């Protein structure tokens, strides 16, 4: 059972469209597998649409009309409407087609939200493999991280945040074992050391390189920039 | 302290920006959108445009900063409404919610273009329209409950609407405290009395 | 004017409930103006629960009282109850002093506030294990409290004392005395003398 969910504030940012694409994708992957959060998202969407269109809440910055309907130049209306309605084409939603991704000899079904994102070349170190997702969000890096059975990421903390969403397989750290859909958001207060006995595929987002805490791992520090 | 209306009558911003809530006629919106879907009804679309575009313009302005970009959001959102009307299912949610998601997606893609210089349109994958309809199917009962609730509240007499119920799970009763501490109620009462007496003495000393 | 720690125009929710920083409670919201409050508050700045007696129960002017204070809360979760009523979990982040109060056309009140320091807002190095265990057993008997605090439990002395103060059956006036910034020792003695027998005289 999924035990780790995004915090309310994140879900709120997601529904508002205020999160970067990387974090939004992480929540979408989670919500695909978590009916509880799906429900919260749809409830919140409804509430926000209500807040947006139904009730005009206190908005200090909009000095608009004085109690009447919003008044806009009628000529503008006509032109805008004509521009839209001159074509009678409709959008056809194409059915979703499964898309797979292969790491070593393991085939995974790619989460729908990642289908149109551009993946970089896969880089390998030992039992770890990483493909960057090219979202161009400056200091925020998103990746697919694959761990082969028996592989692990050395204990590390993080200068910023580090999000891991488990897509398939399992891994565990001292907090316990994780299942697909688990949404694990960590900050620098939480050192962790994920180990995957059976192998796994994760979606990761981090806004800075990792910081390894175990003595011997310091030598491995380049791995930090590699993974996240 | 003064809870009354120190309501700044001279402040034009406050005076005009707080407006009466507009009661929305959801049935009408739904009829218009259905007419667009089934008959490509331009008159119905004009009604929808008149209803939504000023609101979208105002909301988008806050997010995308310029009037020009906000107008783009309006045009793009309403264009989507025109082209996607057939995908809307009135049994699965309100028109306002559907338009809100389109507006949110259009805004998201535009901001990505501005900030990351990316021309991708990821929003439909992140908040898949087709999928959101599925999601709402799961939550159908909740949605109904929510709408029922509003009408129920609206029907309450004014004085009942004023009542606020809160959960008082926070505070234990003296009985509960007695059970919890495994002591007779009398002992709890006298402990409380003693503690309060001592407290008053202490605070009396330090706050005189 | 000192602009530090000032926040303007937060909505007010009048409710006789005592909540210190770190405290969580569940509210049921169904009145239209407070649904509106939740919409405003969920945009990020929260709202203020005001428990003092001069709360908003009259249409017009209400008497003046010095140092009106409230608990500034963030929405941490929400859901719909079995009866469809909106249930909102809120967590107090600061005690605040209300500076000027205003209301809108829906009779929802707003106020500018100033953060007032309180000991429960500060982590200490010390732990109070005895009171912590006692508190845990209270929570265990209340499924809701248990759920609300499941990620927050700590034996930190300030936190434990603050939670005890919230749940003890003493009047709001008494609790308000202990909302002062310098009241920690008094508060600790007070909780001790109720939960454990008052051995030290």
CA C181/CA C86 separation, integer angstroms: 34
Q: Which positions of chain A have pLDDT values less than 50?
A: 57-70, 212-222
Paired tokens of A174: 């001292």
Q: CA-nearest residue of chain B to C61?
A: B4
Closest Cβ–Cβ partner in A8, A51, A60 for C39: A51
Q: Residue B55, exposed/middle/buried by CB under 10 A (0-12, 13-18, 19+)?
A: buried
Contacts of B203 in chain C (CB under 8 A): 177, 186
Check CB contact under 8 Å for C9 and A55: no
Show which of residues 100-119 on chain C sit within 8 Å of chain A, judged by CB atoms: 104, 110
Paired tokens of A47: 């509430």
Question: How far is Cα of residue C53 from the mean position of the Cα atoms in its chain?
Answer: 15
Q: CA-nearest residue of chain A to B125?
A: A113
pLDDT per residue as tens digits for the range B154-204: 444 443 333 323 333 356 778 778 888 888 888 888 888 888 877 777 666
pLDDT per residue as tens digits for the range C98-111: 888 888 888 888 99
Does the pLDDT value for residue B70 go beyond 50?
Answer: yes
% of residues, chain C, pLDDT over 90: 19
In chain C, domain spans: 7-116, 120-195
Give the strand pairing for A162-169 and A183-186.
antiparallel
CA B84/CA B164 separation, integer angstroms: 42
Contacts of A21 in chain B (CB under 8 A): 108, 112, 122, 126
Which of the other chains make 3 or more beta carbon contacts under 8 angstroms with chain B? A, C
Check CB contact under 8 Å for C110 and A58: yes
Does the pLDDT value for residue C65 go beyond 80?
Answer: no
Q: Is A51 on the interface with C (CB under 8 A)?
A: yes
SS3 C114: strand
Paired tokens of A107: 């085939």
Give the strand pairing for A183-186 and C24-29.
unpaired
Check CB contact under 8 Å for C18 and B170: yes
Check CB contact under 8 Å for C85 and B149: yes
Check CB contact under 8 Å for A57 and C77: no
Does the pLDDT value for residue C162 go beyond 80?
Answer: yes
Q: How many angstroms separate the Cα of C46 from the Cα of each of A108, C10, C114?
A: 42, 7, 14
Residues in chain C: 201
Does the pLDDT value for residue B141 go beyond 60?
Answer: no
CA C108/CA C163 separation, integer angstroms: 29
CA B99/CA A53 separation, integer angstroms: 10
CA B78/CA B70 separation, integer angstroms: 12
Q: Report whether CATH 1.10.1740.10 matches the domain B24-161.
A: yes
Contacts of A44 in chain C (CB under 8 A): 78
Which of the other chains make 3 or more beta carbon contacts under 8 angstroms with chain C? A, B
Quickly count: other Cβ atoms within 10 Å of residue B114's Cβ.
13
Query: Rounded to a whole number, what is the distance in Å from the CA of C87 to chain A's nearest CA?
Result: 12
Q: CA-nearest residue of chain C to A51?
A: C39
In chain B, domain spans: 24-161, 174-206
pLDDT per residue as tens digits for the range A169-185: 999 988 889 999 999 98
Check CB contact under 8 Å for B126 and A25: yes
- Of A48 and C198, the one with more pLDDT: A48
Q: C129-140 vs C184-195: helix axis angle to the nearest 10? A: 60
Does the pLDDT value for residue B9 go beyond 60?
Answer: no
The CATH code of the domain at C7-116 is 2.30.130.40
Query: Rounded to a whole number, what is the distance in Å from the CA of B86 to chain C's nearest CA?
Result: 30
Quickly count: other Cβ atoms within 10 Å of residue A73's Cβ.
8
Paired tokens of B74: 């309006």
Using left for φ > 0, alpha for ψ between -120 and 50, and beta otherwise, residue B65 falls in left
Check CB contact under 8 Å for B45 and A38: no
Output the pLDDT for position B181. Answer: 83
Beta bridge partners of C100: C112
The mean pLDDT of chain C is 80
Q: CA torsion angle for C178, C182, C183, C184 (degrees, to 10)?
A: 120
Give the strand pairing for C6-14 and C47-50.
parallel
Contacts of B131 in chain A (CB under 8 A): 112
Check CB contact under 8 Å for B1 and C66: yes
Closest Cβ–Cβ partner in B173, B174, B195 for C190: B195
**ipTM for the predicted complex:** 0.83
Which helix (H) or strand (E) covers residue B78, if one does? helix B67-84
Using left for φ > 0, alpha for ψ between -120 and 50, and beta otherwise, residue A181 falls in left
Top CATH class, A1-228:
mainly beta
Q: CA-nearest residue of chain A to B108?
A: A17
Check CB contact under 8 Å for C198 and B191: yes
Check CB contact under 8 Å for C75 and A8: yes
Evaluate whether C108 touches C32 at the Cβ level (below 8 Å).
no
Question: How far is Cα of residue A156 from the mean position of the Cα atoms in its chain?
Answer: 21
Q: Which residues contact A94 (CB under 8 A, 6 or more apart)?
A: none
Query: Rounded to a whole number, what is the distance in Å from the CA of C76 to chain A's nearest CA?
Result: 6
By C-alpha distance, which of C167, C142, C165 is closest to B173?
C167
pTM of the model: 0.56
Q: CA-nearest residue of chain C to B162?
A: C31
Q: Residue A49, exposed/middle/buried by CB under 10 A (0-12, 13-18, 19+)?
A: buried
Check CB contact under 8 Å for A48 and B100: yes
- Of A61 and C171, the one with more pLDDT: C171
Query: Rounded to a whole number, what is the distance in Å from the CA of B183 to chain A's nearest CA?
Result: 39
Give the strand pairing for C86-103 and C47-50.
unpaired
Contacts of B201 in chain C (CB under 8 A): none
Paired tokens of A182: 């688990």
% of residues, chain B, pLDDT over 70: 65
pLDDT per residue as tens digits for the range C4-55: 567 788 999 887 778 999 999 888 777 778 888 888 888 778 999 987 644 3
């Amino acid at each position: 059972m999924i035990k780790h969910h995004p915090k309310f504030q994140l879900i709120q940012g997601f529904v508002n469209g205020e999160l970067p694409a990387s974090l939004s994708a992480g929540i979408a992957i989670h919500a695909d597998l978590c009916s509880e959060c799906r429900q919260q998202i749809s409830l919140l969407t409804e509430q926000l649409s209500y807040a947006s269109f139904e009730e005009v809440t206190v908005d200090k910055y909009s000095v608009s009309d004085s109690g009447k309907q919003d008044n806009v130049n009628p000529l503008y209306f006509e032109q805008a409407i004509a521009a839209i309605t001159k074509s009678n084409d409709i959008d056809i939603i194409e059915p979703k087609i499964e898309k797979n991704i292969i790491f070593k000899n393991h085939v995974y079904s790619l989460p729908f939200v990642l289908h149109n994102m551009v993946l970089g070349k896969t880089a390998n170190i030992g039992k770890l493999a990483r493909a960057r997702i090219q979202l161009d969000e400056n200091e925020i890096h998103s990746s697919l991280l694959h761990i082969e059975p028996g592989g692990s990421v050395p204990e590390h903390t993080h200068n910023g945040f580090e999000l891991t969403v488990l897509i398939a397989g399992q891994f565990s750290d001292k907090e316990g074992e994780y299942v697909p859909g688990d949404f694990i958001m960590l900050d620098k207060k939480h050192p962790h050391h994920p180990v995957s006995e059976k192998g796994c595929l994760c979606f990761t987002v981090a806004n800075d390189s990792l910081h390894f805490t175990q003595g011997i791992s310091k030598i491995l520090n380049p791995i930090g920039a590699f993974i996240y | 302290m003064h809870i009354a209306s120190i309501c700044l009558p001279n402040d034009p911003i406050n005076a005009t920006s707080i407006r009466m809530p507009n009661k929305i006629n959801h049935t009408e919106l739904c009829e218009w959108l259905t007419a667009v879907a089934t008959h490509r009804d331009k008159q119905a679309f004009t009604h929808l445009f008149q209803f939504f575009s000023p609101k979208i313009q105002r909301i988008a302005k806050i997010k995308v900063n310029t009037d020009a970009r906000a107008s783009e959001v309006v045009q793009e959102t309403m264009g989507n409404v025109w082209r996607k009307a057939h995908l809307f299912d009135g049994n699965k949610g309100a028109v306002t919610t559907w338009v809100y998601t389109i507006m949110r997606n259009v805004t998201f893609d535009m901001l990505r273009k501005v900030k990351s210089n990316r021309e991708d349109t990821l929003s439909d994958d992140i908040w898949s329209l087709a999928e959101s309809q599925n999601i709402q199917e799961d939550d159908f009962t909740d949605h109904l409950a929510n709408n029922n609730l509003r009408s129920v509240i609206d029907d309450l007499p004014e004085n009942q609407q004023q009542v606020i119920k809160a959960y008082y799970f926070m505070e234990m009763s003296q009985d509960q405290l007695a059970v919890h501490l495994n002591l007779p109620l009398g002992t709890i009462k006298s402990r409380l009395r003693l503690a309060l007496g001592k407290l008053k003495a202490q605070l009396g000393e330090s706050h005189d | 004017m000192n602009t530090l720690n000032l926040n303007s125009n937060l909505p007010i929710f009048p409710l006789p409930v005592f909540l210190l920083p770190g405290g969580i409670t569940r509210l049921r919201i169904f009145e239209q103006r407070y649904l509106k409050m939740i919409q405003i508050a969920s945009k990020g700045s929260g709202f203020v629960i005001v428990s003092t007696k001069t709360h908003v129960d009259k249409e017009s002017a209400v008497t003046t009282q010095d140092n009106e204070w409230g608990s500034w809360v963030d929405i941490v979760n929400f859901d719909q109850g079995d009866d469809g009523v909106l249930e909102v979990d809120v967590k107090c982040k600061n005690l605040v002093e209300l500076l000027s109060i205003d209301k809108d056309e829906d009779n929802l009140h707003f106020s500018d506030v100033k953060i007032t320091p309180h000991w429960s807002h500060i982590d200490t190095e010390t732990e109070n294990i005895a009171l912590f265990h006692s508190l845990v057993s209270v929570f265990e008997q209340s499924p809701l409290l248990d759920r609300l605090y499941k990620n927050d439990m700590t034996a930190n002395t300030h936190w434990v004392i603050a939670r005890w103060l919230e749940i003890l059956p003493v009047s709001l006036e008494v609790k308000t005395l202990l909302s002062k910034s310098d009241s920690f020792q008094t508060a600790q003695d007070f909780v001790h003398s109720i939960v454990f027998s008052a051995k030290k005289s």
